[in-house]
Amino acid sequence: MFSNMLFPIKSFTQYGIKCCLCVDQSYRNLYSIGTGFSPLYKKHHKNNQMTTAIREAKQEDIPQIQIVRNSVKENMLSDPTLVTDADCEEFLFQKGKGWVGEIESRIVGFSIVDLKENNIWALFMHPDFENLGIGKQLHDSMLDWYFEQTKENVWLGTAPGTRAETFYRKSGWQETGIHGKGEIKFEMTYTHWKNRKQ
């Protein structure tokens, strides 16, 4: 059995966070997981149980949330500066609420819902950690909370022909039209969500 520990090495001034190294005590191998996740880290943890958690987002999570947002391969921002830390803070704590998914205490995904506009503002996973079920847990936690606050329909927009489109269809979202620049508009109703949870 491998024994792992995480410890800070140095600051990344660009993001205001610390880099961590996962140390395999048996082989003394280092796995950098600062602004990205190394192949060695992923290979090691693919064959060993990972510590995962879903929790409510905090203000200090925003730098890592931004890293995940800018790591995606689909629904990419044309300009990363379009979504600022202040935007994240506003949607997390004034307009709605957010959740983060962690592996070994590092954020690998997040979801944010805008309660005022009845809109899913964000649901993104770091591409290195897709297909582990974390995205679904983030999605479900977000919708459970949303429909505890209101019975209003919630909507989102996503690009056609993407994995996100497939995910939302499988999760029970109903296509209702076109949003923005050719995005598919999906909606989820209170009744449909509660029925799926039974």
**Which residue matches tokens 């800018």?**
70
Q: Do 155 and 63 belong together in one domain?
A: yes
Number of domains in the chain: 2
What does each of the 198 residues of the chain score in pLDDT, given as a tens digit? Answer: 333 333 232 222 333 333 333 333 322 232 333 444 444 445 545 545 678 899 999 999 999 999 999 998 877 777 778 899 999 999 999 999 999 999 988 999 999 999 999 999 999 999 999 999 999 999 999 999 999 999 999 999 999 999 999 999 999 999 999 998 899 999 999 999 999 877
Q: Do 83 and 167 belong together in one domain?
A: yes
> Could you give the CA distance from residue 105 to residue 108 in angstroms, rounded to a whole number?
9
pLDDT value at residue 48: 55
- φ/ψ of 34, rounded to 5, equals -75, -95
Q: Do 31 and 76 belong together in one domain?
A: no
pLDDT value at residue 72: 87
- In this prediction the pTM is 0.76
pLDDT value at residue 169: 97
Cβ neighbours of residue 164 closer than 8 Å, sequence gap 6 or more? 74, 75, 123, 158
pLDDT value at residue 49: 65
Q: How many helices (H) and strands (E) does the chain have?
A: 6, 10
Q: Do 32 and 13 belong together in one domain?
A: yes
Q: Do 22 and 57 belong together in one domain?
A: no
Q: Do 102 and 192 belong together in one domain?
A: yes
Q: Do 23 and 56 belong together in one domain?
A: no
Q: What range does the domain containing 186 cover?
A: 50-197
**Which residue matches tokens 């050719």?**
182
| Strand order across the 17-24 sheet | 4-12, 17-24, 29-32
